[in-house]
Chains A and B, each alone.
Chain A
Amino acid sequence: MNHKRTKDQHSDKNYYFGQDVYVPASNGYIALSLAIALILNFLPLQGDLLIFRPDFVAMTIIYWGISYPHKMGMSIAFSMGLMMDVGNTSLLGQHALAYCVMIYLTLIFGRRLRLFGLMKQAPQIALILLMMQITLVLIAVSSGSHLPGWSYFFATATGTLLWAPISVLLSTPLKQKPDPNAL
Protein backbone atom coordinates (compact mmCIF):
# COMPACT_ATOMS: atom_id res chain seq x y z
CA MET A 1 0.00 0.00 0.00
CA ASN A 2 2.99 2.34 0.35
CA HIS A 3 2.73 3.92 -3.03
CA LYS A 4 5.04 6.87 -2.42
CA ARG A 5 8.02 5.01 -1.05
CA THR A 6 11.32 5.95 -2.71
CA LYS A 7 14.96 5.44 -1.80
CA ASP A 8 15.69 8.85 -0.32
CA GLN A 9 12.55 8.72 1.76
CA HIS A 10 13.78 5.54 3.41
CA SER A 11 16.64 7.38 5.09
CA ASP A 12 14.28 9.94 6.51
CA LYS A 13 13.36 9.06 10.06
CA ASN A 14 10.07 10.87 9.88
CA TYR A 15 9.08 8.83 6.86
CA TYR A 16 7.21 6.16 8.76
CA PHE A 17 5.34 8.68 10.87
CA GLY A 18 4.34 10.81 7.90
CA GLN A 19 2.82 7.86 6.06
CA ASP A 20 -0.91 7.32 5.83
CA VAL A 21 -2.07 4.31 7.76
CA TYR A 22 -4.41 1.91 6.01
CA VAL A 23 -6.64 -0.70 7.58
CA PRO A 24 -6.48 -4.06 5.80
CA ALA A 25 -9.22 -4.54 3.22
CA SER A 26 -11.96 -6.94 4.29
CA ASN A 27 -13.25 -9.61 1.94
CA GLY A 28 -16.56 -7.78 1.77
CA TYR A 29 -14.89 -4.58 0.59
CA ILE A 30 -12.99 -6.45 -2.14
CA ALA A 31 -16.21 -8.15 -3.28
CA LEU A 32 -18.04 -4.81 -3.30
CA SER A 33 -15.34 -3.17 -5.42
CA LEU A 34 -15.46 -6.08 -7.88
CA ALA A 35 -19.26 -5.83 -8.09
CA ILE A 36 -19.06 -2.08 -8.81
CA ALA A 37 -16.40 -2.72 -11.46
CA LEU A 38 -18.67 -5.31 -13.06
CA ILE A 39 -21.56 -2.83 -13.13
CA LEU A 40 -19.29 -0.19 -14.70
CA ASN A 41 -18.32 -2.71 -17.36
CA PHE A 42 -21.97 -3.46 -18.08
CA LEU A 43 -23.02 0.19 -18.52
CA PRO A 44 -25.06 0.47 -21.72
CA LEU A 45 -22.74 2.73 -23.72
CA GLN A 46 -22.55 3.16 -27.45
CA GLY A 47 -20.10 4.44 -30.03
CA ASP A 48 -16.88 6.20 -29.06
CA LEU A 49 -17.47 5.96 -25.32
CA LEU A 50 -17.58 2.20 -25.70
CA ILE A 51 -14.21 2.13 -27.47
CA PHE A 52 -12.52 4.22 -24.80
CA ARG A 53 -14.03 2.47 -21.80
CA PRO A 54 -11.30 0.68 -19.84
CA ASP A 55 -11.85 -2.80 -18.44
CA PHE A 56 -12.71 -1.84 -14.85
CA VAL A 57 -12.93 -5.45 -13.70
CA ALA A 58 -9.42 -6.19 -14.98
CA MET A 59 -8.00 -3.12 -13.25
CA THR A 60 -9.70 -3.91 -9.94
CA ILE A 61 -8.37 -7.47 -10.09
CA ILE A 62 -4.84 -6.17 -10.78
CA TYR A 63 -5.11 -3.68 -7.93
CA TRP A 64 -6.09 -6.32 -5.37
CA GLY A 65 -3.60 -8.74 -6.90
CA ILE A 66 -0.82 -6.26 -6.12
CA SER A 67 -2.08 -5.21 -2.69
CA TYR A 68 -3.40 -8.54 -1.36
CA PRO A 69 -1.89 -11.38 -3.40
CA HIS A 70 -3.11 -13.94 -0.87
CA LYS A 71 -6.74 -12.79 -1.15
CA MET A 72 -7.00 -12.23 -4.92
CA GLY A 73 -6.39 -15.71 -6.20
CA MET A 74 -6.62 -17.09 -9.69
CA SER A 75 -10.00 -18.70 -9.01
CA ILE A 76 -11.60 -15.30 -8.35
CA ALA A 77 -10.09 -13.90 -11.57
CA PHE A 78 -11.35 -16.97 -13.41
CA SER A 79 -14.91 -16.64 -12.15
CA MET A 80 -14.97 -12.89 -12.83
CA GLY A 81 -13.80 -13.74 -16.36
CA LEU A 82 -16.67 -16.19 -16.79
CA MET A 83 -19.15 -13.49 -15.71
CA MET A 84 -17.61 -11.06 -18.20
CA ASP A 85 -17.87 -13.72 -20.92
CA VAL A 86 -21.58 -14.24 -20.41
CA GLY A 87 -22.27 -10.51 -20.01
CA ASN A 88 -20.10 -9.70 -23.00
CA THR A 89 -21.70 -12.50 -25.10
CA SER A 90 -18.22 -13.72 -26.02
CA LEU A 91 -16.92 -17.28 -26.02
CA LEU A 92 -17.28 -18.89 -22.61
CA GLY A 93 -13.75 -19.00 -21.23
CA GLN A 94 -12.26 -16.18 -23.32
CA HIS A 95 -12.12 -13.51 -20.63
CA ALA A 96 -11.56 -16.21 -18.00
CA LEU A 97 -8.30 -17.28 -19.64
CA ALA A 98 -7.25 -13.67 -20.30
CA TYR A 99 -7.85 -12.70 -16.66
CA CYS A 100 -5.92 -15.76 -15.47
CA VAL A 101 -2.91 -14.73 -17.60
CA MET A 102 -3.30 -11.23 -16.23
CA ILE A 103 -3.42 -12.26 -12.55
CA TYR A 104 -0.46 -14.60 -13.15
CA LEU A 105 1.64 -11.67 -14.40
CA THR A 106 0.37 -9.53 -11.52
CA LEU A 107 1.25 -12.14 -8.89
CA ILE A 108 4.74 -12.55 -10.37
CA PHE A 109 5.53 -8.84 -10.68
CA GLY A 110 3.34 -7.69 -7.77
CA ARG A 111 6.10 -7.35 -5.17
CA ARG A 112 8.26 -5.38 -7.59
CA LEU A 113 5.32 -3.16 -8.58
CA ARG A 114 4.64 -2.25 -4.97
CA LEU A 115 8.02 -0.52 -4.79
CA PHE A 116 7.02 2.08 -7.37
CA GLY A 117 4.79 5.11 -7.03
CA LEU A 118 1.43 5.14 -8.78
CA MET A 119 2.78 7.14 -11.74
CA LYS A 120 5.65 4.73 -12.27
CA GLN A 121 3.33 1.75 -11.87
CA ALA A 122 1.05 2.90 -14.69
CA PRO A 123 3.27 1.97 -17.69
CA GLN A 124 3.87 -1.48 -16.19
CA ILE A 125 0.14 -1.94 -15.64
CA ALA A 126 -0.26 -0.98 -19.31
CA LEU A 127 1.91 -3.97 -20.28
CA ILE A 128 -0.20 -6.33 -18.17
CA LEU A 129 -3.46 -4.93 -19.63
CA LEU A 130 -1.99 -5.20 -23.12
CA MET A 131 -1.05 -8.86 -22.54
CA MET A 132 -4.64 -9.46 -21.37
CA GLN A 133 -6.11 -7.89 -24.52
CA ILE A 134 -3.65 -9.75 -26.74
CA THR A 135 -4.79 -13.01 -25.12
CA LEU A 136 -8.40 -12.06 -25.94
CA VAL A 137 -7.46 -11.30 -29.55
CA LEU A 138 -5.53 -14.57 -29.92
CA ILE A 139 -8.46 -16.64 -28.65
CA ALA A 140 -10.94 -14.80 -30.89
CA VAL A 141 -8.74 -15.07 -33.99
CA SER A 142 -8.08 -18.77 -33.39
CA SER A 143 -11.84 -19.34 -33.27
CA GLY A 144 -12.28 -17.68 -36.67
CA SER A 145 -12.82 -13.94 -36.03
CA HIS A 146 -11.30 -11.04 -37.91
CA LEU A 147 -8.44 -9.09 -36.39
CA PRO A 148 -9.89 -6.02 -34.67
CA GLY A 149 -8.68 -2.55 -35.59
CA TRP A 150 -6.07 -0.72 -33.55
CA SER A 151 -8.86 1.12 -31.78
CA TYR A 152 -9.42 -2.07 -29.80
CA PHE A 153 -6.33 -1.27 -27.74
CA PHE A 154 -7.59 2.20 -26.75
CA ALA A 155 -9.03 0.46 -23.68
CA THR A 156 -5.48 -0.29 -22.51
CA ALA A 157 -4.49 3.36 -23.01
CA THR A 158 -7.43 4.71 -21.01
CA GLY A 159 -6.85 2.01 -18.41
CA THR A 160 -3.26 3.20 -18.00
CA LEU A 161 -4.35 6.81 -17.63
CA LEU A 162 -6.99 5.87 -15.08
CA TRP A 163 -4.72 3.57 -13.05
CA ALA A 164 -3.71 6.26 -10.54
CA PRO A 165 -7.24 7.65 -9.96
CA ILE A 166 -8.71 4.18 -9.58
CA SER A 167 -5.98 3.10 -7.15
CA VAL A 168 -6.53 6.20 -5.03
CA LEU A 169 -10.27 5.64 -5.16
CA LEU A 170 -9.94 2.02 -4.05
CA SER A 171 -7.56 2.81 -1.18
CA THR A 172 -9.27 5.96 0.16
CA PRO A 173 -12.00 4.16 2.16
CA LEU A 174 -9.24 2.09 3.83
CA LYS A 175 -7.36 5.13 5.06
CA GLN A 176 -7.39 5.33 8.85
CA LYS A 177 -8.39 8.64 10.33
CA PRO A 178 -5.64 10.07 12.57
CA ASP A 179 -6.68 9.72 16.19
CA PRO A 180 -6.19 13.06 17.99
CA ASN A 181 -5.98 11.32 21.38
CA ALA A 182 -3.09 9.10 20.30
CA LEU A 183 0.52 9.84 21.27
Chain B
Amino acid sequence: MKTAPQFFRHGPGPFTRLFVFALLSCLLIAEDVRFKYFPELRQTIGVVIFPFQKVAYIPANIYDQVDKFIANLYLLEENTRLREQYLENQAQLLRMHSLEAENIQLRELLGAVREIETQTKTKAVLAEILYTPRDPFNHKITLNKGSQHHIQLGQAVIDDKGIVGQITQLYPWSSEVTLLTDKDHSVPVQVARNSLRSVISGTGKNNELELRYLSVNTDIQLGDLLVTSGIGGVYPVGIPVAIVQRIERDPVDDFAQIIGTPIGGVDRNRQVLVLSLVDSMPHDPIEMPEIESQKN
Protein backbone atom coordinates (compact mmCIF):
# COMPACT_ATOMS: atom_id res chain seq x y z
CA MET B 1 0.00 0.00 0.00
CA LYS B 2 2.88 2.33 0.74
CA THR B 3 3.97 2.41 -2.87
CA ALA B 4 0.48 3.32 -4.09
CA PRO B 5 0.31 6.93 -5.24
CA GLN B 6 -1.92 9.42 -3.47
CA PHE B 7 -4.50 9.18 -6.23
CA PHE B 8 -5.45 5.56 -5.46
CA ARG B 9 -5.77 5.87 -1.71
CA HIS B 10 -9.35 5.58 -0.50
CA GLY B 11 -8.86 5.25 3.21
CA PRO B 12 -9.57 2.01 5.06
CA GLY B 13 -11.37 -0.82 3.25
CA PRO B 14 -15.10 -1.53 3.58
CA PHE B 15 -14.69 -4.30 6.14
CA THR B 16 -12.54 -2.14 8.42
CA ARG B 17 -15.10 0.64 8.19
CA LEU B 18 -17.95 -1.79 8.91
CA PHE B 19 -16.03 -3.05 11.94
CA VAL B 20 -15.53 0.48 13.31
CA PHE B 21 -19.16 1.50 12.77
CA ALA B 22 -20.49 -1.82 14.11
CA LEU B 23 -18.41 -1.29 17.24
CA LEU B 24 -19.79 2.25 17.56
CA SER B 25 -23.37 1.00 17.11
CA CYS B 26 -22.90 -1.73 19.70
CA LEU B 27 -21.56 0.85 22.16
CA LEU B 28 -24.59 3.06 21.49
CA ILE B 29 -27.00 0.13 21.91
CA ALA B 30 -25.36 -0.91 25.16
CA GLU B 31 -25.50 2.69 26.35
CA ASP B 32 -29.19 2.92 25.43
CA VAL B 33 -30.18 -0.40 27.02
CA ARG B 34 -28.14 -0.24 30.21
CA PHE B 35 -26.63 3.06 31.19
CA LYS B 36 -28.39 6.03 29.57
CA TYR B 37 -25.50 8.40 30.19
CA PHE B 38 -26.31 10.76 27.32
CA PRO B 39 -30.03 11.44 26.99
CA GLU B 40 -28.96 14.65 25.19
CA LEU B 41 -27.79 12.66 22.17
CA ARG B 42 -31.25 11.24 21.53
CA GLN B 43 -32.82 14.65 22.14
CA THR B 44 -30.47 16.38 19.69
CA ILE B 45 -31.27 13.87 16.96
CA GLY B 46 -34.94 14.24 17.88
CA VAL B 47 -34.75 17.99 17.23
CA VAL B 48 -32.96 17.37 13.91
CA ILE B 49 -35.63 14.99 12.61
CA PHE B 50 -38.58 17.00 13.94
CA PRO B 51 -39.05 19.02 10.71
CA PHE B 52 -39.19 15.80 8.70
CA GLN B 53 -41.83 14.39 11.03
CA LYS B 54 -43.76 17.64 10.76
CA VAL B 55 -43.66 17.55 6.95
CA ALA B 56 -44.72 13.90 6.97
CA TYR B 57 -47.72 14.92 9.04
CA ILE B 58 -49.00 17.42 6.43
CA PRO B 59 -51.13 14.84 4.50
CA ALA B 60 -52.82 13.84 7.75
CA ASN B 61 -53.45 17.53 8.48
CA ILE B 62 -55.07 18.03 5.09
CA TYR B 63 -57.20 14.94 5.66
CA ASP B 64 -58.26 16.40 9.00
CA GLN B 65 -59.25 19.69 7.37
CA VAL B 66 -61.37 17.92 4.75
CA ASP B 67 -62.85 15.72 7.43
CA LYS B 68 -63.69 18.78 9.52
CA PHE B 69 -65.33 20.44 6.52
CA ILE B 70 -67.52 17.41 5.91
CA ALA B 71 -68.30 17.16 9.60
CA ASN B 72 -69.50 20.79 9.52
CA LEU B 73 -72.43 19.63 7.39
CA TYR B 74 -73.64 17.44 10.23
CA LEU B 75 -73.01 20.04 12.93
CA LEU B 76 -76.58 20.41 14.15
CA GLU B 77 -77.07 16.69 14.68
CA GLU B 78 -73.78 16.42 16.48
CA ASN B 79 -74.62 19.43 18.61
CA THR B 80 -77.87 17.92 19.87
CA ARG B 81 -76.16 14.58 20.49
CA LEU B 82 -73.33 16.24 22.44
CA ARG B 83 -75.81 18.32 24.42
CA GLU B 84 -77.61 15.16 25.50
CA GLN B 85 -74.31 13.57 26.39
CA TYR B 86 -73.29 16.68 28.32
CA LEU B 87 -76.47 16.63 30.40
CA GLU B 88 -75.97 12.96 31.09
CA ASN B 89 -72.36 13.53 32.14
CA GLN B 90 -73.32 16.57 34.19
CA ALA B 91 -75.77 14.48 36.20
CA GLN B 92 -73.05 11.94 36.86
CA LEU B 93 -70.57 14.67 37.73
CA LEU B 94 -72.95 16.23 40.26
CA ARG B 95 -73.37 12.85 41.87
CA MET B 96 -69.58 12.46 41.92
CA HIS B 97 -69.14 15.88 43.57
CA SER B 98 -71.50 14.95 46.36
CA LEU B 99 -69.80 11.57 46.70
CA GLU B 100 -66.40 13.26 46.85
CA ALA B 101 -67.59 15.69 49.50
CA GLU B 102 -69.01 12.81 51.46
CA ASN B 103 -65.82 10.84 51.00
CA ILE B 104 -63.66 13.73 52.26
CA GLN B 105 -65.95 14.16 55.24
CA LEU B 106 -65.76 10.46 56.09
CA ARG B 107 -61.99 10.46 55.66
CA GLU B 108 -61.68 13.45 57.95
CA LEU B 109 -63.78 11.60 60.44
CA LEU B 110 -61.38 8.72 60.15
CA GLY B 111 -58.40 11.08 60.31
CA ALA B 112 -57.11 9.94 56.94
CA VAL B 113 -55.10 12.11 54.57
CA ARG B 114 -57.06 14.09 52.00
CA GLU B 115 -55.43 12.32 49.14
CA ILE B 116 -58.46 11.83 46.99
CA GLU B 117 -58.83 15.53 46.31
CA THR B 118 -55.39 15.85 44.81
CA GLN B 119 -55.90 12.70 42.82
CA THR B 120 -59.13 13.60 41.10
CA LYS B 121 -58.29 17.17 40.14
CA THR B 122 -55.90 16.36 37.34
CA LYS B 123 -55.40 18.73 34.44
CA ALA B 124 -55.10 17.39 30.96
CA VAL B 125 -53.38 18.46 27.76
CA LEU B 126 -54.78 17.32 24.43
CA ALA B 127 -52.13 15.90 22.10
CA GLU B 128 -52.12 14.27 18.71
CA ILE B 129 -50.24 11.16 17.67
CA LEU B 130 -47.51 12.31 15.29
CA TYR B 131 -46.07 8.98 14.35
CA THR B 132 -46.53 5.29 15.03
CA PRO B 133 -43.43 3.24 14.22
CA ARG B 134 -43.59 0.02 12.27
CA ASP B 135 -41.20 -1.62 14.72
CA PRO B 136 -42.91 -4.69 16.19
CA PHE B 137 -40.29 -4.79 18.96
CA ASN B 138 -41.33 -1.75 20.93
CA HIS B 139 -44.81 -0.38 21.36
CA LYS B 140 -44.31 3.36 21.43
CA ILE B 141 -45.89 6.37 19.76
CA THR B 142 -44.72 9.94 19.25
CA LEU B 143 -46.97 12.82 20.31
CA ASN B 144 -46.92 16.36 18.91
CA LYS B 145 -46.49 18.03 22.32
CA GLY B 146 -43.20 18.20 24.18
CA SER B 147 -41.37 19.96 26.97
CA GLN B 148 -42.23 23.32 25.36
CA HIS B 149 -45.91 22.51 26.06
CA HIS B 150 -45.13 21.67 29.71
CA ILE B 151 -45.28 17.93 29.21
CA GLN B 152 -43.29 16.07 31.85
CA LEU B 153 -41.73 12.65 32.03
CA GLY B 154 -43.92 10.02 33.64
CA GLN B 155 -47.29 11.62 32.83
CA ALA B 156 -50.13 9.21 32.12
CA VAL B 157 -51.72 9.25 28.66
CA ILE B 158 -55.39 8.31 28.29
CA ASP B 159 -58.13 8.41 25.69
CA ASP B 160 -61.90 8.56 26.12
CA LYS B 161 -62.08 4.94 27.25
CA GLY B 162 -59.00 4.21 29.32
CA ILE B 163 -55.26 4.27 29.83
CA VAL B 164 -53.10 4.33 26.71
CA GLY B 165 -49.61 4.60 28.19
CA GLN B 166 -47.05 6.83 29.81
CA ILE B 167 -44.61 9.54 28.64
CA THR B 168 -41.11 8.07 28.71
CA GLN B 169 -39.02 10.32 26.50
CA LEU B 170 -39.19 14.07 26.10
CA TYR B 171 -38.13 16.26 23.20
CA PRO B 172 -38.71 20.03 22.93
CA TRP B 173 -41.66 19.75 20.53
CA SER B 174 -42.59 16.11 20.75
CA SER B 175 -42.61 13.27 23.23
CA GLU B 176 -42.59 9.51 23.25
CA VAL B 177 -45.32 7.43 24.87
CA THR B 178 -44.67 3.85 25.92
CA LEU B 179 -47.93 2.02 25.32
CA LEU B 180 -49.53 -0.38 27.78
CA THR B 181 -48.66 -3.28 25.49
CA ASP B 182 -44.89 -2.60 25.55
CA LYS B 183 -42.93 -5.41 27.12
CA ASP B 184 -41.26 -3.05 29.60
CA HIS B 185 -44.44 -1.37 30.80
CA SER B 186 -46.49 -2.17 33.92
CA VAL B 187 -49.47 -0.51 35.59
CA PRO B 188 -50.64 -1.06 39.17
CA VAL B 189 -54.28 -2.12 38.90
CA GLN B 190 -57.13 -3.48 40.94
CA VAL B 191 -60.15 -5.55 39.97
CA ALA B 192 -63.16 -3.24 40.03
CA ARG B 193 -65.44 -6.01 41.32
CA ASN B 194 -63.53 -6.93 44.50
CA SER B 195 -60.61 -4.43 44.53
CA LEU B 196 -58.04 -7.20 44.34
CA ARG B 197 -54.68 -5.48 43.76
CA SER B 198 -52.11 -6.55 41.21
CA VAL B 199 -49.78 -5.25 38.53
CA ILE B 200 -50.59 -5.66 34.85
CA SER B 201 -47.75 -5.80 32.33
CA GLY B 202 -47.46 -5.57 28.59
CA THR B 203 -46.43 -8.66 26.69
CA GLY B 204 -44.96 -7.01 23.61
CA LYS B 205 -47.86 -8.33 21.55
CA ASN B 206 -50.70 -6.28 20.15
CA ASN B 207 -53.76 -6.05 22.39
CA GLU B 208 -52.46 -8.40 25.04
CA LEU B 209 -51.71 -7.63 28.68
CA GLU B 210 -50.72 -10.09 31.35
CA LEU B 211 -51.51 -10.28 35.05
CA ARG B 212 -48.53 -12.08 36.50
CA TYR B 213 -48.00 -13.82 39.83
CA LEU B 214 -51.63 -14.32 40.83
CA SER B 215 -52.13 -17.74 42.38
CA VAL B 216 -54.33 -20.38 40.76
CA ASN B 217 -57.21 -19.94 43.21
CA THR B 218 -57.40 -16.13 42.90
CA ASP B 219 -60.91 -14.70 42.75
CA ILE B 220 -60.86 -13.34 39.23
CA GLN B 221 -63.37 -13.98 36.46
CA LEU B 222 -63.66 -13.58 32.73
CA GLY B 223 -64.86 -10.09 31.86
CA ASP B 224 -63.59 -8.51 35.07
CA LEU B 225 -62.78 -4.83 34.69
CA LEU B 226 -59.30 -3.80 35.82
CA VAL B 227 -58.87 -0.16 36.84
CA THR B 228 -55.79 1.74 38.03
CA SER B 229 -55.25 1.44 41.75
CA GLY B 230 -53.30 4.69 42.14
CA ILE B 231 -50.53 2.92 43.98
CA GLY B 232 -47.15 4.14 42.79
CA GLY B 233 -48.48 7.64 42.21
CA VAL B 234 -48.04 7.74 38.44
CA TYR B 235 -51.60 6.95 37.40
CA PRO B 236 -54.68 8.56 38.98
CA VAL B 237 -57.15 6.24 40.69
CA GLY B 238 -59.97 4.44 38.92
CA ILE B 239 -59.18 4.77 35.22
CA PRO B 240 -60.09 1.63 33.25
CA VAL B 241 -57.09 -0.33 32.01
CA ALA B 242 -58.15 -3.73 30.74
CA ILE B 243 -60.79 -6.43 30.65
CA VAL B 244 -59.88 -10.00 31.59
CA GLN B 245 -60.19 -12.10 28.47
CA ARG B 246 -58.58 -15.43 29.16
CA ILE B 247 -57.82 -17.33 32.36
CA GLU B 248 -55.90 -20.58 32.44
CA ARG B 249 -55.79 -22.26 35.82
CA ASP B 250 -53.42 -25.16 35.53
CA PRO B 251 -52.86 -26.73 38.97
CA VAL B 252 -49.38 -27.80 37.85
CA ASP B 253 -48.23 -24.18 37.73
CA ASP B 254 -47.97 -21.97 40.78
CA PHE B 255 -49.61 -19.04 39.07
CA ALA B 256 -52.70 -18.66 36.92
CA GLN B 257 -52.19 -17.33 33.43
CA ILE B 258 -54.43 -14.30 33.07
CA ILE B 259 -54.58 -12.36 29.83
CA GLY B 260 -56.45 -9.09 29.38
CA THR B 261 -57.17 -6.76 26.49
CA PRO B 262 -56.59 -3.03 26.92
CA ILE B 263 -59.72 -0.87 26.94
CA GLY B 264 -58.11 2.33 25.69
CA GLY B 265 -57.49 2.54 21.96
CA VAL B 266 -53.83 1.65 22.25
CA ASP B 267 -53.45 1.26 18.50
CA ARG B 268 -56.43 3.18 17.16
CA ASN B 269 -56.77 6.82 18.20
CA ARG B 270 -55.34 9.99 16.77
CA GLN B 271 -56.02 12.28 19.75
CA VAL B 272 -55.07 11.48 23.32
CA LEU B 273 -55.11 13.27 26.67
CA VAL B 274 -51.92 13.75 28.69
CA LEU B 275 -52.82 13.93 32.39
CA SER B 276 -50.72 16.08 34.70
CA LEU B 277 -48.69 14.34 37.34
CA VAL B 278 -50.35 13.54 40.61
CA ASP B 279 -49.01 15.98 43.23
CA SER B 280 -48.51 13.45 45.96
CA MET B 281 -46.11 11.42 43.87
CA PRO B 282 -43.75 9.52 46.11
CA HIS B 283 -40.14 10.41 45.47
CA ASP B 284 -38.86 6.89 45.50
CA PRO B 285 -36.09 6.01 43.08
CA ILE B 286 -36.76 2.30 43.43
CA GLU B 287 -40.32 2.62 42.21
CA MET B 288 -39.47 4.52 39.07
CA PRO B 289 -35.87 3.74 38.23
CA GLU B 290 -36.14 4.52 34.55
CA ILE B 291 -37.75 7.90 34.93
CA GLU B 292 -35.35 8.93 37.68
CA SER B 293 -32.30 8.04 35.64
CA GLN B 294 -33.63 10.00 32.68
CA LYS B 295 -34.22 13.07 34.77
CA ASN B 296 -30.64 13.15 35.93
Contacts and interface: CB of A to CB of B under 8 A. Distances in A.
A42 B56 contact: yes
Interface stretch (B43-51, B69-77, B113-121): B43-51
B133 A39 contact: no
Interface stretch (A25-33, A117-125, A138-146, A170-178): A138-146
A152 B136 CA distance: 8
Chain A CB within 10 Å, residue with most, of B21, B31, B48, B53: B21
Tier of interface size on chain B: 35 or more
A44 B59 CA distance: 9
B60 interface: yes
A66 interface: no
Contacts of A92: 28-29, 31-32, 41-42
A101 interface: yes
Interface string A53-83: 1000000000000000010011100100111
B131 A93 contact: no
B65 to A, nearest CB: 15
A14 interface: no
Given A97-B25, A146-B183, A87 B18 contact: no
Interface in B163-199: 169, 176, 183
Contacts of A127: none
Nearest to B56: A42
B32 A86 contact: no
A50 interface: yes
Interface string B106-150: 000000000000000000000001111111111011100000000
A53 to B, nearest CB: 6
Contact of B132 (A35, A46, A81): A46
A149 interface: yes
Contact of B56 (A39, A82, A155): A39
A53 B142 CA distance: 18
Contact of B138 (A51, A83, A145): A145
B18 A100 contact: yes
Nearest to A79: B45
B95 interface: no
B271 to A, nearest CB: 13
Contact of B52 (A87, A90, A94, A143): A87
Contacts of B134: 50-51, 53, 88, 155
A104 B52 contact: no
Interface in B9-44: 10, 14-15, 17-18, 21-22, 24-29, 31-33, 41-42
Contacts of B22: 97, 100-101
Contact of B133 (A74, A83, A90, A97): A90
A134 interface: no
Given A42-B131, A93-B26, A108-B14, A146 B21 contact: no
Interface of A: 35, 38-46, 50-51, 53, 70, 73-75, 78, 81-83, 85-94, 96-97, 100-101, 104, 107-108, 139-140, 143-146, 148-149, 152, 155
22 contacts: A38-B49, A44-B60, A44-B129, A70-B10, A81-B25, A83-B49, A86-B49, A87-B142, A91-B29, A91-B33, A93-B24, A93-B28, A94-B25, A96-B25, A97-B25, A100-B22, A101-B22, A104-B18, A146-B137, A146-B183, A148-B136, A152-B136
Interface of B: 10, 14-15, 17-18, 21-22, 24-29, 31-33, 41-42, 45-46, 48-49, 52-53, 55-57, 59-60, 129-138, 140-142, 169, 176, 183, 203-205, 267-268
